[in-house]
Amino acid sequence: MRKYRVLIVGFLLLWVLTSCNSQNRSMFEIEMYNPDGDSLGTAKLSEQPDEVKIKLSLTGLEPGLHGIHIHEFPKCEGPDFISAGSHFNPDGKEHGAMNPKGQHKGDMPNIEADPDGMVEAEVSVKGATLMDGKYSLLKDEGTSLVIHEGPDDGLSQPAGDAGPRVACGIIQLEEAAEKNPPSDPTKGGKEKKKEEG
């Protein structure tokens, strides 16, 4: 009887460990920063069938429309956030939802900040994933989420003429892991993911 109990506890532990790992990856929150390095709020990323959903909860933006994209590098160095690179574009397409030769995988519809500069919105990156593969937002070192001063016109090259970058958040496993309580399962997952690259 005792043997079975040990077995059951073992299985339970294994289940907890594996589910912690996949949870880290399929749903996590990132922080968005302005060019001064102040937090503007959060973006919650979640894995969905054939897309990644991003739930935004932000303050401190200029009221009105803003372009928002996934950019190719997980680097948010202010004040210009040029370090984030170009739009996430694993298929080598052109920019813009209205472009017949488009669009970049990282292109998304504009978001709108209310008169108080707040954004409570949900956007999605079609065809992207938080798991492995060509379209993974966590591929290599990761990517970043960038918001622009003005709206993306969906057509202008190379990036929709949306103006300067006013907010940036790093999409990276390490950051996600840091936000979780420092327990052994999380550490194990973190190391494993690092190896996967």
Q: How far is the CB of 148 from Cu ion (least distance, A)?
A: 5
* Residue 166 backbone phi and psi in degrees, to 5: -110, -10
Binding flags for Cu ion, 58-77, as an x/- string (CB under 5 A): -----------x--------
Chain centroid, CA 74 distance in Å: 9
Site string for Zn ion, 101-120 (x = CB under 5 A): ---x--x-------------
Site for Zn ion in 43-102 (CB under 5 A): 87, 95
Tokens of 190: 């973190």
Q: Which does 107 bind (CB under 5 to 8 A by kind): Cu ion, Zn ion, none?
A: Zn ion
User: 101-113 in b/e burial notation, b at 16+ Cβ within 10 A?
Assistant: ebbbbbbbebbeb
Would you count residue 152 as binding Zn ion (CB under 5 A)? no
If DSSP codes are grouped into helix, strand and coil, which group holds residue 148? strand
Quick one: 146 or 173, whose CB is closer to Zn ion? 146
Joined together, the tokens standing for residue 18 give 């594996």
Region 117-176 residues binding Cu ion, contact defined as CB under 5 A:
146
DSSP 3-state assignment of 134?
A: coil
Where along the sequence are the contacts to Zn ion (CB under 5 A)? 87, 95, 104, 107
